[in-house]
């Protein structure tokens, strides 16, 4: 098993987050009061989201995703009981 599982979990999280963000932006623009505060909040939301996404992709591309991961390194040899 390799680290790629965590990358896929991150992609699933991003897809759910993107769906919620689109719904949120739709509600802000459709049902919010049309004034400078609404526009400012929308720009800040989109800007901070873009900054977070770009910084996370910068750090993600530096990881070797083929590195093996072992969660439970237990030896099931009967001669080595109680050694973890």
Q: What is the pLDDT of residues 2-37, one digit of tens each?
A: 888 889 999 999 999 999 999 988 888 888 778 888
Locate the domains of the chain by residue range. Answer: 4-64
Structure tokens at 25: 């932006």
Higher pLDDT, 52 or 77: 52
Higher pLDDT, 79 or 49: 49
pTM here is 0.69
Name the 3-class secondary structure at 5.
Answer: helix
Residue 63 has pLDDT above 80, yes or no: yes
Q: What share of the chain is helix, strand, coil (3-state, %, to 5)?
A: 65, 0, 30
Higher pLDDT, 43 or 33: 43
Which one, of 19, 7, 2, 5, lies nearest residue 56 by Cα?
7
């Amino acid at each position: 098993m390799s680290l790629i599982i965590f990358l896929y979990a991150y992609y699933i999280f991003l897809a759910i987050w993107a769906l919620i963000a689109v719904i949120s932006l739709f509600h802000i623009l459709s049902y919010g009061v049309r004034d400078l505060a609404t526009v400012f909040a929308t720009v800040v939301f989109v800007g901070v989201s873009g900054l977070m996404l770009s910084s996370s992709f910068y750090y993600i591309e530096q990881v070797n995703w083929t590195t093996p991961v072992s969660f439970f390194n237990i030896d099931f040899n009967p001669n080595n009981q109680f050694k973890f």
